[in-house]
Chains A and B, each alone.
Chain A
Amino acid sequence: MADKEVKLMKGNEVIAYAAIRYGCDGYFGYPITPQSEVMETLMELKPWETTGMVVLQAESEIASVNMLYGGAATGKRVMTSSSSPGVSLMSEGMSYLAGAELPCLIVNCQRGGPGLGTIQPSQGDYFQACKGGAHGDFHLIVLAPNSVQEMHDFVALAFDLAFKYRNPAMILADGAIGQMMEKVTLAPQRPRKTDAEIEAECKSWAIYGKPADRARNVVTSLELRSEEMEKINLRLQAKYRAMEENEVRYEAVECDDADYVIVAFGSSARICSATVELARAEGLKVGLLRPVTLYPFPKKPIAELAKRGVKGFLSAELNAGQMVEDVRLAVNGLVPVEHYGRQGGSLFTPDEVYRALKDKIINRG
Chain B
Amino acid sequence: MKETLIIAGFGGQGVLSMGKILAYAGVMQDFEVTWMPSYGPEMRGGTANVTVILSDRRISSPIAYEFDTAIILNQQSMDKFEPLVKAGGTLIYDVNGITRHPERKDINVYSINATEECAKMGNARLFNTMILGGYLKVCPVVSMENIMSGLKKSLPERAWKMLPANEQAILHGAAIIEKKN
Q: Is B60 touching A182 in the complex (CB atoms < 8 A)? A: no
**0/1 interface trace, chain A 165-184, chain B, CB 8 Å (1 if under):** 00000000001100111110
Partner of A119, one of B28, B32, B40, B61: B40
Q: Is A277 touching B23 in the complex (CB atoms < 8 A)? A: no
- CB nearest to B53 among chain A residues: A182
How many angstroms from the CA of A182 to the CA of B62 in the assembled complex? 10
In the assembled complex, the CB of B146 is this many whole angstroms from the nearest CB of chain A, namely 12
Q: Is B61 touching A270 in the complex (CB atoms < 8 A)? A: yes
Interface size on B, residues (CB 8 A): 22
Q: Is B27 touching A180 in the complex (CB atoms < 8 A)? A: no
Chain B residues with Cβ under 8 A from A67's Cβ?
none
Given contacts A6-B27, A181-B23, contact A176 B62 (CB under 8 A): yes
Q: Is B60 touching A179 in the complex (CB atoms < 8 A)? A: no
Task: Check if A248 is an interface residue, CB within 8 A of chain B.
Answer: no
In the assembled complex, the CB of B158 is this many whole angstroms from the nearest CB of chain A, namely 14
Chain A residues with Cβ under 8 A from B33's Cβ?
8, 181-183
Binds B, one of A17-25, A235-243, A296-304, A348-356: A348-356
Chain B residues with Cβ under 8 A from A335's Cβ?
none
In the assembled complex, the CB of B6 is this many whole angstroms from the nearest CB of chain A, namely 13
Given contacts A181-B33, A270-B61, A271-B61, contact A8 B39 (CB under 8 A): no
Q: Is A274 touching B60 in the complex (CB atoms < 8 A)? A: yes
Q: Is A8 touching B62 in the complex (CB atoms < 8 A)? A: no
Given contacts A8-B33, A176-B36, A181-B20, contact A274 B27 (CB under 8 A): no
Given contact pairs A176-B36, A271-B61, enumerate 9 new A-B contacts (beta carbons under 8 Å).
A8-B24, A34-B39, A176-B62, A181-B20, A182-B34, A270-B63, A348-B63, A349-B64, A350-B63
**0/1 interface trace, chain B 51-73, chain A, CB 8 Å (1 if under):** 00000000111111100000000
How many angstroms from the CA of A120 to the CA of B63 in the assembled complex? 14
Enumerate 24 A-B pairs (CB-CB under 8 Å) in ascending A order: A8-B23, A8-B24, A8-B27, A8-B35, A34-B40, A118-B40, A120-B39, A176-B36, A176-B63, A180-B36, A181-B23, A181-B34, A181-B35, A182-B33, A183-B32, A183-B33, A270-B60, A271-B62, A271-B63, A272-B61, A274-B61, A276-B60, A348-B63, A349-B64
Task: Check if A14 is an interface residue, CB within 8 A of chain B.
Answer: no
Task: Check if A347 is an interface residue, CB within 8 A of chain B.
Answer: yes
Q: Is B60 touching A349 in the complex (CB atoms < 8 A)? A: no
How many angstroms from the CA of A139 to the CA of B11 in the assembled complex? 42
Chain A residues numbered 333-355 whose CB sits less than 8 Å from any CB in chain B: 347-352
Given contacts A33-B40, A34-B39, A119-B40, contact A183 B27 (CB under 8 A): yes
The dominant DSSP class at the B interface is mixed
In the assembled complex, the CB of A355 is this many whole angstroms from the nearest CB of chain B, namely 11
**0/1 interface trace, chain B 132-169, chain A, CB 8 Å (1 if under):** 00000000000000000000010000000000000000
In the assembled complex, the CB of A274 is this many whole angstroms from the nearest CB of chain B, namely 4
Task: Check if A273 is an interface residue, CB within 8 A of chain B.
Answer: yes
How many angstroms from the CA of A362 to the CA of B61 in the assembled complex? 22
In the assembled complex, the CB of B143 is this many whole angstroms from the nearest CB of chain A, namely 15
Chain A residues numbered 140-182 whose CB sits less than 8 Å from any CB in chain B: 175-176, 179-182
Q: Is A270 touching B27 in the complex (CB atoms < 8 A)? A: no
- CB nearest to B20 among chain A residues: A181
Chain A residues with Cβ under 8 A from B65's Cβ?
349-352
Q: Is A180 touching B34 in the complex (CB atoms < 8 A)? A: yes
Chain A residues with Cβ under 8 A from B97's Cβ?
none
**0/1 interface trace, chain B 110-137, chain A, CB 8 Å (1 if under):** 0000000000000000000000000000
Chain A residues numbered 269-284 whose CB sits less than 8 Å from any CB in chain B: 270-274, 276-277
Chain A residues with Cβ under 8 A from B64's Cβ?
349
Q: Is B41 touching A179 in the complex (CB atoms < 8 A)? A: no
How many angstroms from the CA of A349 to the CA of B84 in the assembled complex? 12
In the assembled complex, the CB of B38 is this many whole angstroms from the nearest CB of chain A, namely 8
How many angstroms from the CA of A276 to the CA of B60 in the assembled complex? 10
The winner among B20, B62, B64 for most chain A CB atoms within 10 A is B62
The winner among A119, A183, A349, A351 for most chain B CB atoms within 10 A is A183
